[in-house]
Amino acid sequence: MERDNIIGAFSEEQASRISGVSIYQLRHWDKEGFFPAAFGTTQQHVPFGRLYSFRDLVSLQVLNNLRNDNKIALSHLREVSERLSHLGDQKWSSTTLYILGRRVVLENPATKHREDVVSGQRVFNIPLRIVIKNTKDRIKQLNNRTDTLGEFSKGKFVAHNEMVFSGTRIPVSLVIEFYQAGYATDKIIREFPDLTVADVEAAIKVFESREAA
């Protein structure tokens, strides 16, 4: 029987790939105390200085949906975080959240009414429910791209719906730009360690076919 929780620690890069939150945002949120990593050090330039727990990854996916996909202001999210502070580190991962406009809403357990988290105003129409993605599956697939090498895909809310390399969030157009700038395959892979020779060659083939058309 699969355990409900996965015990582990994940690097910034892994947390970013799984949650969709950029590494810049992770570092900024950690520095400002909005969302600190579960395990970390105050010393700079320390390898794996910030490590994230499984619960962190679930929370970060919710925050990615709120902040990046639905453009809810970080100032509002800070207010929500303060209002939910009594829930500790489970406030983002164990609470069913909703969105109305660019405000965060939840169901008041006492009244069963949906209310604006910050103002407490009752909400009657909820256009969108936040759904936590299957974090366990993403972790399992993190380093397993064997069946998708050299393939492209599009996904809602992924790289603004641009064509990306399957299993990643890297736009194909970005690699083509590096190729046009004179970067060889090995140098492109150095810039994008998640890619393989098959990925880069597939992107070059797309570029060359467009040029020949």
Do residues 116 and 170 both lie within one domain?
Answer: no
- 77-98 tens-digit pLDDT: 999 999 888 888 888 887 778 8
Given a cut of 70, the residues of the chain with pLDDT beneath it are 1-8, 40-49, 124-150, 152-161, 213
Do residues 197 and 92 both lie within one domain?
Answer: no
Six-digit token pair at 39?
């395990």
Q: Please give the span between the terminal C-alpha atoms of the chain, in angstroms, as a whole number.
A: 54
Do residues 116 and 150 both lie within one domain?
Answer: no
Percent of the chain at pLDDT exceeding 90? 16
Do residues 132 and 45 both lie within one domain?
Answer: yes
Concatenated DSSP letters of 13-41: HHHHHHH---HHHHHHHHHHTSS--SEE-
Task: Count up the domains in the chain and report the number.
Answer: 2
Do residues 68 and 34 both lie within one domain?
Answer: yes
Q: Identify the CATH number of the domain in which residue 31 sits.
A: 1.10.1660
DSSP 170: -
Do residues 19 and 50 both lie within one domain?
Answer: yes
Do residues 185 and 89 both lie within one domain?
Answer: no
Return the number of other C-beta atoms located less than 10 Å from residue 171's C-beta.
Answer: 18
Q: Identify the CATH number of the domain in which residue 207 sits.
A: 1.10.10.10
| Predicted TM-score of the model (pTM) | 0.56
Exposure letters 100-117 (e unless 16+ CB within 10 A, then b): beebbbbbeeeeeebbbb
Which of 137, 163, 185 is the last residue in one of the domains? Answer: 137
Structural domain includes residue 79: yes
Q: Of 40, 50, 21, 8, nearest to 133 (Cα)?
A: 21
Structural domain includes residue 6: no
Do residues 173 and 95 both lie within one domain?
Answer: no
CA angle 204, 208, 209 (to 5 degrees): 115
Do residues 169 and 119 both lie within one domain?
Answer: no
Which of 73, 105, 137 is the last residue in one of the domains? Answer: 137
Over its C-alpha atoms, the chain yields an Rg (Å, rounded) of 20
Which of 101, 118, 137 is the last residue in one of the domains? Answer: 137
Q: What is the pLDDT of residue 24?
A: 92
| Residue 179 lies in domain | 145-212
